[in-house]
Structure 1
Amino acid sequence: MGVNTGSAAIHITPVAVRTFFKHAKRRARKLKNGDTKEEATDDILYDEAFHIVKAFIDLGTYNTVESLQRFTNTHVPAPYWACVAPVQVPFSSCNRAADALIDWFGPDDLKTVVGGERWWQIRGMDGIESEWITEKDYLQDLDLPAGKKPSDSETNVVRMEHLETVMLYVHGGAYFWGSINTHRYQLIRYARKMKGRVFAVNYRKAPQYPWPCPLQDVLASYFYLTSPPPGAPHKAIHPSKLVFAGDSAGAGLCISALTVLRDLGYPQPAGAVLISPWVDLTHSFPSIMENTATDIIPPHGFIHKPSPLWPIGLVGERARALPARTNPPPRPGHADTLKPSSSRIADQAVQRTGEGEDRGNPAHASDMKDPVVGDQQEMLEESPLEGQDAGSKHADPPSRDHDTPDPDREAALEFWEPKPPKVLMDNHDTKPLELYSQIQLYATNEQLTHPLVSPVVQGSLGNLCPLYILAGDGELLRDEIVYLAHKAASPKDFPTRNGVLKEGRRQKENAEKFQTPTKVHLQVYDDMCHVLTVFTFIDSAKYAYRSITEFVKHVTTHSEEHVDRNPFPEFHMPPADFNREDIEDARRRRESSRTYSRFFMSSGRPSPVDSSRSDIKMWQDSEKVAREEEQQGNVERMSNAVVESEQATKSSNLSDSRTKSTHLKPFDAFATANSSTASASPAAMAKSSSHQDIPGVSMIRERVDIFGRVRPMEPRGDVQALQIPPGQIGLIKEAPVRRWLAGQEIWDVKFKRSAMKVALKRKHYEEKAARLLNHAREQGLILSHDHHPHPYHSNSTASINGTHDIGHERRWGPFDIDGEQPPPSAIAGRRDTREAVALMKKMIYHTAPVTHKTVPKVKTSDAVRAAFDPEDHPTKAPKQSVSEQQTYARIVPFHGLRMWQGLVSYFMSRSTTKAVKSKDQAVEAVRSGSEKLTSSNNP
């Protein structure tokens, strides 16, 4: 059946009923025992919502990746009070982002780490689906000039132009599911509270578009906003008016994008909000094993029913993990295979050449065994240098410069293959495991320790824009989030593992160059699971929304100099004031919430004196707590030397920016020219004078209880995550790998027949792709790298299709990646999935890249065949991957995501009138769901 509204309802309904009765029993037991401990699950709304979300994610693991992607990327209409204007980030912005990443990686890393510079630039769409979001009440009336009337979307974008505060939001979903539709209600809430606008980006997702595809899309969106190309409906947005924000995987993409902007000297946004950022894909922190019961993430991680797309290695094709077959290095858990040394390349080239001659075909890395393989302790003793290169017991000579062109080295690279990364075992007397099966959908095992995949191993997280970081105390990612925040705020106290610095030239430079502490506000929420902002109706989430928007308003409405001095709105003097409209709105929403709460009187939740506080009151109380912390010396301050160094660095960066403005894109000149004028209003400037604020604070560390009450966090020495040695960070460890393997083995047995069918499907699509290419050649397809005329060309009667043009900004297509090594799941390098065939057909017949000399016409027989193929179309381009392109429900008004939004909007409505309307919508949605439950087959 797949993931759809009907299957979700069938799977979730028993969970909701069971949770209701368990909640009542637990509450009765607590009352009987006189247990007064306040827990988040004492609120029946949170208890139900937590288990519903957990059940939905669990449902996804019993279905294919494509099914989950399709459901969560289905277009859902926005609420009537919201203004949503769809736009598309064009190729010009995408290409600029690609150029930035090519510059960041350099030619050597592009080849050995990324697998090439072309495959990740290939996309099926003509840009990136995105949308502007704000409240309709905030739109400005326009007098449109006579002549060509712009579209409604373009008009609405212009009507938002007066809203200066902009949030660039990157949604979460483990890098492979979720969309702007799953997060739209949250984004509307942000826009309303900050009285601004949100730009949401529907980036390409793994495994079809693995790393660095999503990172390119986030950077492209930033360039699109700050340097819009000709024809864009919006004006350029100065970075000081822009804030990055994201949750989970989206927050991880935000921090990676910030480091790229920093490293390349581009202006950074005014700040960034990171909600439960996923920043360590190696799972090297303790909470990943400790918090399974209190989080919404499935117990075995993200494993799925087999499909042509995923997993790459089907059951029986190969072992997922084996005892080590190669001696160190690489050191256990450390994927130093990303960037090989010259000695290792030479050794492997000789070995592979010899094996190829003996066998008559090229050898593979799995065929190369060391004669003697020791246990983990012996390996560690034989590998004195952390991350030392495999195939040699000696480090490269220091004089060797890998960036210098070397013909022999370039030739040897053609033979190079990474060996599987080893797993750090709990018992050093055993052989380490070597992973042969990809454990994360986002990146290959060898790439998991790369700083742009797992930002927690960045050489430095200093010199970034101010960060507001939120984590749930009960989530799996808690420890890595806490560590990331402290690493950013104290670069010298939390150095990066030597192996990362050794293999990354840029990381070594960053560790020395960026030592200025990043200003960080860290908050850990009691009892909360991953991404607490999903549960918009609980007190701690209400406070989080208010706190986030106050941070965003503070860093975007004050001058850059003021934000440099004090990025924390809690320390702004005089305290933040709220107009009557804000207070009245909070009162109405609180009354609506009380009405809903009376409907659930059985919850028996504790009612402290201040439980009826609005989010404004929570925020005002937190301001007082923060100032008390500062007065008591419980905040971290910057030394005078650091302040002077920071000022010198900023002056140097400003000078560099002025130098660049003569030859970079329009944004850089715009940013330089407006750096002195992009400040707040005179009234705001008057408020932010230096003698009123509390300057010089580098980090605020707090905990937040379930009622939104703030208190200081315990000292560093009492935080478990901060006691882990740097050499243990970013290592693939045994416990999470064993847990993943256990779940994968269960799934292999459960879906063994499905895997057998998948193998046949892959063969079917390979044959379909071969036929497609052959017929295109017959019809006159000519590629720029064709050195000799194809035998079919002389017989071609129609080689050019006049209805379609070659896209001059589309650089590459799936036939342009010879010599590259894209990850096994990447759509650009595959021919065995429906989506890969659809991409091929679109590139051949509809939106050809510049590397195609001709756009042939579809054969009549192929058009007839496509008319009877539900996955194809006789005249139009086939639908592209659901990881990139939104799908539309066959029954437009009915979708599970819309039901969820309808229910949430009832008790979070902006006014009593809207509450009544939202209630009717929710009741109607539930009634429709019951009637269509058995027959629904929505995508």
Structure 2
Amino acid sequence: MPVTTVSSAVHIAPVVVKTFYKHGKRKAKKLKEGRDEEEALDDIFFDEAFHIVKAFIKMGTKNTVESLQAFTNTHVPAPYWAAVSPVIIPLTSCNRAADMLIEWFGPDELKRVVGGERWWQVRGLDGVDGEWITEKEYLRSAKDNPKMHKNLNDDEADILRMDHLERVMLYVHGGGYFWGSVNTHRYQIIRYARKMKGRAFAVNYRKAPQYPWPCPLQDVLAAYLYLTQPPPGALHSAIPASKIVLAGDSAGGGLCLTVLTILRDLGLPMPAGAVLISPWVDLTHSFPSVMHNIETDIIPQHGFLAKPSTLWPVDPIPKGDGRVVPAKSNRPPDPGHTDTLKPTKKRMEENGNRNDITITKEKVKTQGEMLDAAVNDQRGENASTLGSGGPMRHPSSEKDVREDASDYDVNFWEPKPPKVLMEDPDAIPLELRAQIQLYATTEQLTHPLVSPILQGSLGNLPPLYILAGDGEVLRDEIIYLAHRAAHPSKYPARQGVLRDGVRQKENSEKFTTPTKVHLQVYDDMCHVLTVFSFTHSASCAYRSIAEFAKHVSDSSEEHLQRNPFPELHRPPSEISTASEADDEHPSALKHKTSKKTKASRPKEKRKSSDPSDVKIYKQNEANVFKEVQRGEAEKMPPSHSVGQDSPDLGDCSESEDIPNIRMIRERVNIHGISRPMEPPEDIQALRLRPGQIGIIKEAPTVRWLKGQEKWDKHFKSSAKRALKRRARLEAKARRLLRNARAQGLVLAGEQPIHEPRPGIAREDHPEKIQEDRRWGPLDLEDERPPPTAIAKRLDTPEALALLKKSVYYSPPVSHQTIPKLKKSDVLRATFDPNDDPNRPPPQSVSEQQVRTHIIPVHGLRMWDGIVRYFGRKSASKAVKGTKQVGKQLGIINSHEASGSGERGSAVFVLPSQSHFSTISSS
């Protein structure tokens, strides 16, 4: 059964019952054992919500990729109190973004790593879907805008009416780079826009595996250029980069960070700051928490697997010896398959043009022997010993690691894809024979624009506010990312990355200014904690994100160089506690609607005695100030300080900002109260040497393989059907191409074989060749796109739809003529439910939103209803508990007594229900 609202409800209902039963047993056990420590899962509502999201994502792995994409990219109407105006980011902006990427890569890397400069520019739509989002109460009167005229529809008018809002958040949604959309994240984005009293722009970028890296990257860059350099016809005014805040969760956070590095490298204006919520920045899974935190996170145990389809996996039935096998050779496979990003000239000469490297008489060496051989080859016979002598082992091995060997990987063999780093250096390395991530090929995973944790430098970036959950699998890489950005020299890039990329080596020497970072790690929280908007943790996060966005977008560049942290702004910023403190949208209670609408809306006005996210933020603001006052905050090095050094903070009544703080490091408890983070030397992730970062390791590889083998066995018949359907679709695509040629299709540079038939390529043709569309699927003969990219495939329904649209409806400038469908093709399309001879075929659900023709009772709305319910009940429970404590102890809201806000502090009352959360992950 595909992913639908009904199948989701059927799958999740037993989870709700099971969780309720287990919750009671766990609470009873804690009570019996006398354990009084507080945990996030002690709240039945968070417990239920956590397991609902986890169950939904797990259900997604049991369906095809296309099914999950369609469900999460179904258009869901916006709430009536919000102004949501859809737009199309045109091809002109997309082309500018492409030019930026072409400049960044250079011709050699485009050919060697990306596979060409054309295939990733091919798309089905005439641009990228985007949305302007704000609160209706923030809209200016139509009379105040001189651009307003009668021919505008409501959405266009709203864009003009919100144009006066200077603060802009460019939001990039998450979803593992392959699912999710502006629809899954709209309620969260509305909440950000309201709290920052500005507007947001959300981009519905193309997704893998149909449009793998760097397709999503191009689309996010196009969205940024659309804001800063509006194309002709855009209704909004050009937005200065200094007024834009980039924000994204999970995969979206990784894209935001990558965009920042590209803008920095090319010397282009960068945004005022960036918010990274659980950013996924290491697709090699080289950090410990990937293995340790699987039980406390919503991410599936074996990763994002899927039921086989024509699209994914690349090989529905594993070929040869399997998807992961012991190394068959002492060198990686030939370039162009699962190879290193930059094979050596010597190995290329040895390999020649052979594709089958398994036929070899040489003895396959162990991991340690491979290293020793590499050492002897590169440094001479005496290089195989060090110090007191003896054979050396790989500097990144889990065992037998020498403390002074951290720089060996600059010259020695290191297990780059497809080789896997083994825990036992005396073992024969494993080799990957399958693509393990949907976003990029295995050999691309170590590229710094795929895994930005491997950037040569993360210095010289705008201020970053980075959030992570302590229970999420990505926790360690997020913590490492924050410290790498703030300490470019202390946490250098792996030397192998610098060796393989000229730009990365230059960046490591050029960008040495520390990036100012605010890092918060939330106790007991999982991946993308903002999904659970009814919790104290999420309330704290939303408020802190809004205050950060306001501070960096309102301040000058000089001011931000001195202090980018709103918590250190003096005097402290005033925050309205009247309306902004309420999670219930303020205008929703006074908005004029029908009686039916009013009656259906629950009354959720917060009681005046309820603590709000504003009070939590103020408490945390005081905690940060005390940390700086005690000298525990990290200061900028003297060479990078602006103006005078930090003043004496003995007096809390400072009237000027506290300058030259490099990094704020905090943990946040389940009540939203912050405390200083432990020293870096006590954090496991920060003890990893650079040579261990970005290496595919044995444990996560074996875990993924076990899951994939289980899926291969369970879905064996589906895999066979997928292969048969691929063959039928390819035959259909080739017939379409033959017919198009027979009808006079001529590409640029070709000569017509015969005179075009009447009606072909006439000026009055209803469809025109698009001047701004550079390339189509027929222009990729010399390109090598990833095997999942539908731009060059002929064996999936989406590839066929893309081909048909490119030939008959929206041809690129490389086409000289537009053929007409043959009558036989028209007849076939008439009987095809997924085709229509009178209009372009629907494009991939990874790009085009699914539109329903009935009133949508969609699962995304169901989730919003669940969150509202949990928010109301949690708030009610918290109010009762606080009043009880107040009667017994004579105090209410005595959070000051808890000091640093450790667990055990008085319970805060949750904000009233949230309308601003929906399913989102990865």
Query: Where on the TM-score scale, by shorter chain, does this alignment land: which range?
Result: 0.7 to 0.9
Go from structure 1 to structure 2 and tell me whether the alpha carbon gap of 1:908 and 1:854 turns closer, same or farther (over 3 Å shift).
farther
- CA drift at 1:777: 0.7
Question: Residue in 1 aligned with 2:202?
Answer: 200
- CA drift at 1:96: 0.5
Question: Residue in 1 aligned with 2:760?
Answer: 799
- CA drift at 1:429: 1.0
In the alignment, the residues of structure 2 paired with residue 165 and residue 146 of structure 1 have an alpha-carbon distance, to the nearest angstrom, of 21
Identity among equivalent pairs (%): 61
Go from structure 1 to structure 2 and tell me whether the alpha carbon gap of 1:646 and 1:752 turns closer, same or farther (over 3 Å shift).
farther
Counterpart of 2:478, as a letter, is: I
Go from structure 1 to structure 2 and tell me whether the alpha carbon gap of 1:611 and 1:330 turns closer, same or farther (over 3 Å shift).
farther
Instruction: Verify: 1:384 aligned to 2:366, yes or no.
Output: no
- CA drift at 1:20: 1.1
Counterpart of 2:787, as a letter, is: P
CA RMSD of aligned residues (A): 2.9
In structure 1, stretches of 5+ residues that fail to align are 353-362, 394-417, 593-597, 600-609, 648-688, 913-918, 926-939
In the alignment, the residues of structure 2 paired with residue 463 and residue 703 of structure 1 have an alpha-carbon distance, to the nearest angstrom, of 25
For 1:231-250, list aligned pairs within 5 A: 231-250=233-252
Instruction: Verify: 1:725 aligned to 2:728, yes or no.
Output: no
User: Given the alignment, which residue of 260, 266, 275 partners 1:264?
Assistant: 266
Question: Residue in 2 aligned with 1:937?
Answer: none
Instruction: Verify: 1:756 aligned to 2:720, yes or no.
Output: yes
Instruction: Verify: 1:342 aligned to 2:303, yes or no.
Output: no
The number of residue pairs the alignment matches comes to 814
For 1:100-249, list aligned pairs within 5 A: 100-143=100-143, 149-249=151-251
In the alignment, the residues of structure 1 paired with residue 508 and residue 855 of structure 2 have an alpha-carbon distance, to the nearest angstrom, of 52
The 8 Å contact of residues 335 and 449 in structure 1, kept in 2 or not, is answered as no
Go from structure 1 to structure 2 and tell me whether the alpha carbon gap of 1:339 and 1:584 turns closer, same or farther (over 3 Å shift).
closer
- Between stretches 703-712 and 20-29, larger displacement belongs to 20-29
Question: Residue in 2 aligned with 1:621?
Answer: 619
Go from structure 1 to structure 2 and tell me whether the alpha carbon gap of 1:473 and 1:584 turns closer, same or farther (over 3 Å shift).
closer
Question: Residue in 2 aligned with 1:668?
Answer: none
1:212-269 Cα offsets, whole Å, 9 max, x none, are 0000001000000001011101000001110000000000000000000000000110
The 8 Å contact of residues 314 and 755 in structure 1, kept in 2 or not, is answered as yes
Question: Residue in 1 aligned with 2:636?
Answer: 638
1:817-849 Cα offsets, whole Å, 9 max, x none, are 111110000011110000000000000010000
1:103-156 Cα offsets, whole Å, 9 max, x none, are 000000000000000000000000000101111111111127786511222111
Go from structure 1 to structure 2 and tell me whether the alpha carbon gap of 1:23 and 1:611 turns closer, same or farther (over 3 Å shift).
farther
Question: Residue in 2 aligned with 1:773?
Answer: 737
In the alignment, the residues of structure 1 paired with residue 801 and residue 643 of structure 2 have an alpha-carbon distance, to the nearest angstrom, of 54
- CA drift at 1:903: 3.4
Question: Residue in 2 aligned with 1:684?
Answer: none
In the alignment, the residues of structure 1 paired with residue 506 and residue 673 of structure 2 have an alpha-carbon distance, to the nearest angstrom, of 42
Go from structure 1 to structure 2 and tell me whether the alpha carbon gap of 1:146 and 1:170 turns closer, same or farther (over 3 Å shift).
closer
Question: Residue in 1 aligned with 2:412?
Answer: none
1:246-301 Cα offsets, whole Å, 9 max, x none, are 00000000000000000000011000000000000000000000001000000100
Go from structure 1 to structure 2 and tell me whether the alpha carbon gap of 1:558 and 1:330 turns closer, same or farther (over 3 Å shift).
farther
Local SS of the residue matching 2:707 = helix
In the alignment, the residues of structure 2 paired with residue 851 and residue 645 of structure 1 have an alpha-carbon distance, to the nearest angstrom, of 56
The 8 Å contact of residues 93 and 229 in structure 1, kept in 2 or not, is answered as yes
Go from structure 1 to structure 2 and tell me whether the alpha carbon gap of 1:367 and 1:227 turns closer, same or farther (over 3 Å shift).
same
Counterpart of 2:289, as a letter, is: S
1:833-873 Cα offsets, whole Å, 9 max, x none, are 00000000000010000000001111122112101101111
Question: Residue in 1 aligned with 2:648?
Answer: none
In the alignment, the residues of structure 2 paired with residue 146 and residue 708 of structure 1 have an alpha-carbon distance, to the nearest angstrom, of 44
In structure 2, stretches of 5+ residues that fail to align are 385-414, 590-601, 646-652, 876-911
In the alignment, the residues of structure 1 paired with residue 483 and residue 147 of structure 2 have an alpha-carbon distance, to the nearest angstrom, of 53
Question: Residue in 2 aligned with 1:372?
Answer: 363
Counterpart of 1:736, as a letter, is: P
- CA drift at 1:905: 4.2
Go from structure 1 to structure 2 and tell me whether the alpha carbon gap of 1:637 and 1:369 turns closer, same or farther (over 3 Å shift).
farther
In the alignment, the residues of structure 2 paired with residue 805 and residue 613 of structure 1 have an alpha-carbon distance, to the nearest angstrom, of 60
The 8 Å contact of residues 333 and 357 in structure 2, kept in 1 or not, is answered as no
Instruction: Verify: 1:86 aligned to 2:89, yes or no.
Output: no
1:11-66 Cα offsets, whole Å, 9 max, x none, are 00000111112112222222233221100001111100000000000000110000
Counterpart of 2:730, as a letter, is: E
Go from structure 1 to structure 2 and tell me whether the alpha carbon gap of 1:307 and 1:638 turns closer, same or farther (over 3 Å shift).
same
User: Given the alignment, which residue of 656, 662, 665 partners 1:698?
Assistant: 662
- Between stretches 27-36 and 831-840, larger displacement belongs to 27-36
The 8 Å contact of residues 310 and 796 in structure 2, kept in 1 or not, is answered as yes
The 8 Å contact of residues 761 and 819 in structure 2, kept in 1 or not, is answered as yes
Go from structure 1 to structure 2 and tell me whether the alpha carbon gap of 1:544 and 1:762 turns closer, same or farther (over 3 Å shift).
same
The 8 Å contact of residues 781 and 853 in structure 1, kept in 2 or not, is answered as yes
For 1:502-521, list aligned pairs within 5 A: 502-521=499-518
1:859-899 Cα offsets, whole Å, 9 max, x none, are 12211210110111111000000000000234332111112
In the alignment, the residues of structure 2 paired with residue 811 and residue 740 of structure 1 have an alpha-carbon distance, to the nearest angstrom, of 39
Go from structure 1 to structure 2 and tell me whether the alpha carbon gap of 1:525 and 1:857 turns closer, same or farther (over 3 Å shift).
same
In the alignment, the residues of structure 2 paired with residue 617 and residue 690 of structure 1 have an alpha-carbon distance, to the nearest angstrom, of 21
For 1:456-855, list aligned pairs within 5 A: 456-582=453-579, 585=582, 613-643=611-641, 692-786=656-750, 788-790=751-753, 793-794=754-755, 796-800=757-761, 802-855=765-818
Question: Residue in 2 aligned with 1:874?
Answer: 837
In the alignment, the residues of structure 2 paired with residue 632 and residue 233 of structure 1 have an alpha-carbon distance, to the nearest angstrom, of 50
- CA drift at 1:789: 3.6
Question: Residue in 2 aligned with 1:445?
Answer: 442
Question: Residue in 2 aligned with 1:674?
Answer: none
- CA drift at 1:317: 3.1
Counterpart of 2:325, as a letter, is: L
In the alignment, the residues of structure 2 paired with residue 769 and residue 880 of structure 1 have an alpha-carbon distance, to the nearest angstrom, of 15
In the alignment, the residues of structure 1 paired with residue 40 and residue 747 of structure 2 have an alpha-carbon distance, to the nearest angstrom, of 61
The 8 Å contact of residues 340 and 418 in structure 2, kept in 1 or not, is answered as yes
- TM-score normalised to the size of structure 2? 0.85
- CA drift at 1:427: 1.1
The 8 Å contact of residues 338 and 432 in structure 2, kept in 1 or not, is answered as no
User: Which structure has more helix as a fraction of its residues?
Assistant: 1
Local SS of the residue matching 1:546 = helix
User: Given the alignment, which residue of 879, 882, 901 partners 2:864?
Assistant: 901
Counterpart of 1:696, as a letter, is: N
Counterpart of 1:777, as a letter, is: R
In the alignment, the residues of structure 2 paired with residue 584 and residue 739 of structure 1 have an alpha-carbon distance, to the nearest angstrom, of 45
Counterpart of 1:474, as a letter, is: G
Local SS of the residue matching 2:419 = coil
The 8 Å contact of residues 479 and 721 in structure 1, kept in 2 or not, is answered as yes
For 1:357-436, list aligned pairs within 5 A: 363-364=354-355, 366=357, 369=360, 371-384=362-375, 421-436=418-433
In the alignment, the residues of structure 1 paired with residue 358 and residue 102 of structure 2 have an alpha-carbon distance, to the nearest angstrom, of 33
Question: Residue in 2 aligned with 1:10?
Answer: 10
The 8 Å contact of residues 83 and 136 in structure 1, kept in 2 or not, is answered as yes
Counterpart of 1:615, as a letter, is: D
Counterpart of 1:750, as a letter, is: H
In the alignment, the residues of structure 2 paired with residue 251 and residue 690 of structure 1 have an alpha-carbon distance, to the nearest angstrom, of 35
Counterpart of 1:872, as a letter, is: D
Counterpart of 2:246, as a letter, is: F
Question: Residue in 2 aligned with 1:667?
Answer: none
Counterpart of 2:773, as a letter, is: R
1:542-601 Cα offsets, whole Å, 9 max, x none, are 010000000000001111211111000000000121235346636999xx9xxxxx99xx
Question: Residue in 2 aligned with 1:933?
Answer: none
Question: Residue in 1 aligned with 2:277?
Answer: 275
In the alignment, the residues of structure 2 paired with residue 146 and residue 68 of structure 1 have an alpha-carbon distance, to the nearest angstrom, of 40
The 8 Å contact of residues 280 and 480 in structure 1, kept in 2 or not, is answered as yes
Question: Residue in 2 aligned with 1:602?
Answer: none
Question: Residue in 2 aligned with 1:62?
Answer: 62
In the alignment, the residues of structure 2 paired with residue 252 and residue 738 of structure 1 have an alpha-carbon distance, to the nearest angstrom, of 25
